[in-house]
Amino acid sequence: MAHLLHTPFIPSSSSSAALRRSSASSGTRRPPVSPGVVRAKIREIFMPALSSTMTEGKIVSWVKSEGDKLSKGESVVVVESDKADMDVETFYDGYLAAIMVDEGGVAAVGAPIALLAENEDEIEQAKSKAQSPSSASSSASSSPAPAAAPAVEAQSDKAPVKAAAAAAPAVASTHPASEGGKRVVASPYAKKLAKELKVELGRIVGTGPLGRIVAKDVEAFAASGAAAAAAPAAAAAPAAAKSGSGVELGSVVPFTTMQSAVSRNMVESLGVPTFRVGYTITTDALDALYKKIKSKGVTMTALLAKATALALVKHPVVNSSCRDGNSFTYNSSINIAIAVATEGGLITPVLQDADKVDVYTLSRKWKELVDKARAKQLQPHEYSTGTFTLSNLGMFGVDRFDAILPPGTGAIMAVGSSQPTVVATKDGRIGMKNQMQVNVTADHRVIYGADLAQFLQTLSQIIEDPKDLTF
Amino acid sequence: MQSTLSLSFSPSSSAAAVSRSHTTRFSLNTSTPLNLRFCGLRPQALAFNASGNHRSSKLPSRPRSQAISAALSANGSPPKSFDYDLLIIGAGVGGHGAALHAVEKGLKTAIVEGDVVGGTCVNRGCVPSKALLAVAGRMRELQNDHHLKSLGLQVSAAGYDRQGVADHAINLASKIRNNLTNSMKALGVDILTGFGKILGPQKVQIGSSDKIVTAKDIIIATGSVPFVPKGIEIDGKTVITSDHALKLEFVPDWIAIVGSGYIGLEFSDVYTALGSEVTFVEALDQLMPGFDPEIGKLAQRVLINPRNIDYHTGVFASKITPARDGKPVRIELIDAKTKEPKDTLEVDAALIATGRAPFTHGLGLENIDVVTQRGFVPVDERMRVIDSNGKLVPHLYCIGDANGKMMLAHAASAQGISVVEQVTGRDHVLNHLSVPAACFTHPEISMVGLTEPQAREKGEKEGFEVSVAKTSFKANTKALAENEGEGLAKLIYRPDNGEILGVHIFGLHAADLIHEASNAIALGTRIQDIKLAVHAHPTLSEVLDELFKSAKVKAHASIPVSEPVAV
């Protein structure tokens, strides 16, 4: 314990004047100066500076948990600095009232990471203080974010707990492994995930061996929970059942935020002079390749994105856009956006640098993006940075369609299904080949017919001889 | 060095000189003759010093062996001539080490093995587990996207073939087993097949046959088997010990590991790397008992918390039923203190890693009046077997797991070598505090000597101060180049004289790094001396270099400035 540092506990500013006075006379209890104001002695624990170069620290673990009694000199938290992990000990006796930065969280040096109450009565007060954002902004202007975030979590935390109590008996019988609902059988990873995602295990129906809750159950529940988060928790379950059955006919339903955004974009697209060029591509070789590497987690979407990206490398103009009506904007990277239908909307997650990233990574990345999209957790850079868009309706059996060009980009490609087709070859024979039709919509201010034609020719060559896709 | 040596010699070897100096002191009061006498003694001391300092205690041991042979002839039972000079029962790593050293010392040696050469370590322990851990380490690297990305690497999804991994472990074990067998055969060690049973002093029966072998000295090196607490039903498929787990016949989705010592920890590393989720069941209040608390805490933060592992501490697995009839493995947990039922686990498999029990049954110990203690053969500090009356059994030694002093393969080997030294006339006592230990997780854990609480207790008892120095792998260039800065090295020492009491390392290649410290302890090298030694840059060994340099020792380096060496 050579490196123990003392946390600089500094009285919080919201009650600072009163606090300092009372702390000076800690033994004698003075009556409150003005009635109605509670003179709680709540101190903030700040992120200590563990080295001269340290600007922020990561909370490795909380040695104590909320409500624990602390005595002077005890280790409270382990902080990772730029150099080492160190135990940080308290300089005061009291109770750890509220943890403001959770394990794994990062806080700037000097930012509050927890509240310390002098006695047990003040714990509740400290907790409410931790939840009110004003305390953070007033005391530590350097980093209000870490304080605000846990506050939100703390509030949302309470709802599921109550709901779980009500929901538990109903769900219980669905756990064969749980002795009639008395306990929850969940795998270690499922438990860990549930804690991270703040999901109550008791509300999840397990699909693992013998009804055990496994990681994917938690993920699925968290994703569905996120969608229904707006609704009150207690009503969430029955409401979800109804929404699945369909829309109520004869009603007018206002756009969601996402639907409004789609609507705005579609109208805006009318201001762009677009034209379309179609092409038929034989996919036998691509299908064979897909079959071969499917087991490695490669998806057709990733293969198409990769093929498109490689074709775009040779035709940078098709990856360009016209921002101001006066110039070409040649994009430095090839980011393939792919349209995904979600519940109540349409979003275009982006595979960035699709020309450079290998197809296995692309496949994984794509899965991650789709999961995030379904859970509505996509970050703006994950759906707004596309330079070329793909829209694929092939899986529904659509053989050809055309797409509307999203404003701000140069081209979008509509991909139909690949179907066995009777083909006459040049030497007069007839054979069977899998073919798919693609149809590119482009902004004619920057991309001309010949550009698209050449691009499509390259694309068809890549798809018909797909060895470069897996490099 | 000189002063201590001359001191230890004075009572025994120079009795004449002492008495003479007494007379001179009385007769002549000048300092010259005295000086001369001491000058005469010095070279003698230095000569001993050059030949190794275990000689210093050679003399006191002689009379003991005489007494032993006298007692033997009184019984009238010892054979006149022997088949072998040394017979070792058990061809594990301990027996092998002893055999090789015995041959080097010119002893006619035989080794008795009832199972396969190599024992636990080679066939069912350290060796195959290292093969699995090597796979685990690579899987971890390939799966750690974040780590790879920070190195600028792109790797497509990593996968493994279970049988391929299992074969690697099996092949490694058989390769090492062959190496061991061949090395003994090449040196002329007779390998006698069958379980050895002691019939009487210096007499051993091989297997159930009539074959009886006599030997001047006998070493028991029968090792150990996995310990299975009562209430646990092993079926070898879903409830298993390390013996079964090393075959890697299946990789369960969820496995409970009972015991969080070395074995449990290493298997948790293997299983989580191969995609299993792990639940530890530990009887003590914290995971990884036996490790230095600080190292244990850090190891938990790195090896347990971020992985798909949860744990129950302070509980016993009172009953474990294997999976059958479509039901999972059931583990009943009771509170370790109150014995109240606490919880029940339903998992796909359970690995029992609650330690190892000595394999000494059927050894014929009753024929020489030796009573085992919980199965362990009682021995003194020289590995000499003690009988039920507390007397030494002549010519019988016990090394390794069977005596339970330090259940490590290399400790057994060191004990074996120590015994061979003794039977060839050089007294030797192994310093167990200089025996390093390692746990091959990713990253590794290694240690030698005392833990901090042990050292503090000893310091308090014996009245010396204990200090601790620490260095982080985060400050090591090579570790950072590997992007593996997670780790800590800890030195526990005496600031007054610079003695190293213990070193504990958690970090990249910790198992390979510990030997600088263990050698220093074995040779009695002090911190003030070793801190002047040079380490290549940039290497992980600089972690220890920094560690020694950061220690604050009051004593000065004892090595005088040597002659300059031209380069």
**Residue-wise pLDDT tens digits, A15-31:** 333 333 333 334 444 44
DSSP B166: H
Transcribe B515-543 into DSSP letters: HHHHHHHHHT--HHHHTTS---TT-TTHH
Backbone angles phi, psi at B179, to 5 degrees: -60, -45
Q: Are the beta carbons of A191 and B470 separated by less than 8 Å?
A: no
CA proximity to B359, closest of B416, B397, B403:
B403
The closest alpha carbon to B254, from B331, B149, B158, belongs to B331
Q: Got the DSSP string for B196-239? A: EEEEETTEEEETTSS-EEEEEEEEE---EEE---TTB---SSSE
Which among B157, B277, B348 has CB closest to A188? B277
Query: Does residue A446 register a pLDDT over 70?
Result: yes
Cβ contacts from A onto B, under 8 A: 60
Minimum CA–CA partner of B480 in chain A: A83
Check CB contact under 8 Å for B308 and A361: no
- Rounded to a whole number of angstroms, the distance from the CA of A361 to the nearest CA of chain B is 6
Residue B72, CB half-sphere, CA atoms under 13 Å: how many? 19
**Collapsed DSSP state (helix, strand, coil) of residue B277:** strand
A214 shares contact with chain B (CB less than 8 Å): yes
Spatial separation of the C-alpha atoms in residues B119 and B96, rounded to whole Å: 10
Residues of A involved in catalysis: 444
* Rounded-to-integer distance, Cα A356 and Cα A308, Å: 12
SS3 at position A251:
coil
pTM above 0.80, yes or no: no
Cβ–Cβ below 8 Å for A296 and B156: yes
- CA–CA separation, B557 and A43 (whole Å): 50
Work out the minimum CA distance from A83 to partner chain B, whole angstroms.
Answer: 6
Specify whether the CB–CB gap between A435 and A421 falls below 8 A.
yes
Which of A66-70, A292-296, A297-301 is the least confident region?
A66-70
Question: pLDDT (tens digit, 9 = 90+) per residue, B241-294?
Answer: 999 999 999 999 999 999 999 899 999 999 999 999 999 999 998 898 889 999
pLDDT tens, chain B, 567 aa long: 444 333 333 344 444 444 444 433 444 444 443 333 343 334 343 344 434 444 444 444 444 444 444 444 444 455 568 999 999 999 999 999 999 999 999 999 999 998 899 999 999 999 999 999 999 999 999 988 888 888 988 887 788 999 999 999 999 999 999 999 999 999 999 999 999 999 999 999 998 878 899 999 999 999 999 999 999 999 999 999 999 999 999 999 999 999 999 899 999 999 999 999 999 999 998 898 889 999 998 899 899 988 999 999 999 999 999 998 888 999 999 999 999 999 999 999 999 999 999 999 999 999 999 999 999 999 999 999 999 999 999 999 999 999 999 999 999 999 999 999 999 999 999 999 999 999 999 999 999 999 999 999 999 999 999 999 999 998 899 999 998 988 999 999 999 999 999 999 999 999 999 999 999 999 999 999 999 999 999 999 999 999 999 999 998 877 666 677 777
> How near does any CA of chain B get to the CA of A20, in Å?
37
Largest CA distance in chain B: 97
How far is residue A183 from each of residues A172, A201, A211, measured CA to CA in Å?
9, 10, 12
Helices A449-464 and A284-293: angle between axes, nearest 10 degrees: 50
CA A428/CA A120 separation, integer angstroms? 92
Using the Cβ of A403 and the Cβ atoms of chain B, whether some distance falls under 8 Å is answered with no
Nearest alpha carbon to residue B507 among B229, B302, B256? B302
Q: Do A187 and B253 touch (CB under 8 A)?
A: yes
List of residues 6+ apart from A183 with CB closer than 8 A: B343
Distance (Å) of CA A418 to CA A305, B384, B519, B529 = 16, 82, 70, 77
* Burial classification of residue A28, based on how many CB atoms lie within 10 Å of its CB (0-12 exposed, 13-18 middle, 19 or more buried): exposed
How many CA atoms within 13 Å lie on the side-chain side of B119?
29
pLDDT tens digits, residue range A189-204? 998 888 888 888 888 8
The answer to which of A62-66, A358-362, B300-304 has the lowest mean pLDDT is A62-66
What would the mean pLDDT of A245-253 be, rounded to a whole number? Answer: 71
> Tokens 């501490």 sit at which residue?
B313
Identify the pLDDT of residue B132: 96
Number of neighbouring beta carbons within 10 Å of residue B154: 13
Residue B265 near residue B441, CB atoms below 8 Å? yes
- Complex prediction ipTM: 0.73
Using the structure block, give the residue that is written with the tokens 């090393």: B246
- Look at B553 and A248; give whichever has higher pLDDT: B553
For residues A6 and B424, give the distance between their C-alpha atoms in angstroms, rounded to a whole number: 60
Residues of B in contact with A210 (CB under 8 A): 327-328, 346
In contact, B245 and B235? CB cutoff 8 Å: no
Q: Is the pLDDT of residue A361 over 60?
A: yes
pLDDT digits (tens, 9 = 90+) for A212-246: 888 888 888 887 765 544 444 333 344 434 444 46
A137 vs B370, which has greater pLDDT? B370
- Alpha-carbon span A217 to A223, nearest angstrom: 10
Spot the catalytic one: B244, B432, B509, B537: B537
The answer to whether B535 contacts chain A (CB < 8 Å) is: no
Which is nearest to B399 in space by CA: B418, B421, B415, B422? B415
Whether residue A78 and residue B301 make contact (CB cut-off 8 A), yes or no, is yes
Q: Please report, rounded to a whole number, the percentage of residues in chain A having pLDDT higher than 70.
A: 73
At residue B563, what are phi and psi to the nearest 5 degrees? Answer: -60, 140
Q: Do B254 and A358 touch (CB under 8 A)?
A: no
**A75 touches B: beta carbon within 8 Å:** no
Query: Taking CA A301 as the corner, what is the angle to CA A300 and CA A302, rounded to the nearest 5 degrees?
Result: 90
- pLDDT-derived band at A377 (thresholds 50, 70, 90) equals confident
Confidence of residue A66 (pLDDT cuts 50, 70, 90): confident
What strand order describes the sheet that includes A430-443? A274-282, A430-443, A411-424, A388-392, A336-338, A350-351
| Residue A83 contacts B, CB cutoff 8 Å | yes
pLDDT at residue number B559: 63
- Residue A117, φ and ψ in degrees, nearest 5: -100, 150
Using DSSP's 3-state secondary structure scheme, residue B120 falls into: helix
Give me the amino acid identity at A123. Answer: I
Residue B327: list chain A partners with CB under 8 A. Answer: 210
| Tokens at B262, concatenated | 């070395």
What secondary structure letter does DSSP report for A329?
B
Per the CB < 8 A criterion, the answer to whether B224 and B120 are in contact is yes
Nearest to A210 among B277, B278, B346 (CB): B346
Let me know: does B406 contact B448? Beta carbons within 8 Å.
no
Write out pLDDT tens, residues B63-102. 444 444 444 444 445 556 899 999 999 999 999 999 999 9
pLDDT at A84: 60
Report the alpha-carbon distance of residue A467 to residue B87 in Å, rounded. Answer: 66
Q: How confident is the model at residue A297 (pLDDT cuts 50, 70, 90)?
A: confident
Q: Contact B424/B430 with Cβ under 8 angstroms?
A: no
Nearest to A84 among B279, B310, B472 (CB): B472
A427 band by pLDDT with thresholds 50, 70 and 90: confident
Give the orientation angle of helix B162-187 with respect to helix B93-104, to 10 degrees: 30
pLDDT at A179: 52
- Backbone phi, then psi, for B507, in 5-degree steps? 160, -175
Task: Using the predicted structure, report yes or no on whether residue A282 has a pLDDT greater than 60.
Answer: yes
CA closest to A86 among chain B residues:
B298
* A4 close contact with B: CB closer than 8 A: no
Structure tokens at A189: 């990873």
A94 vs B188, residue with greater confidence: B188
A325 to A273, A406, B16: CA distances (angstroms)? 11, 15, 113
- Residues in chain A with CB shorter than 8 Å from the CB of B348 are 209
What gap in Å lies between CA A88 and CA A334, rounded to an integer? Answer: 47
Q: Who's near A36: CB < 8 A, 6+ residues apart?
A: none
With a cut of 50, say whether residue A171 has pLDDT above it: no
Element (H, E) at A391: strand A388-392
DSSP letter at B183 equals H
B275: CB partners within 8 A, 6+ apart = B251, B253
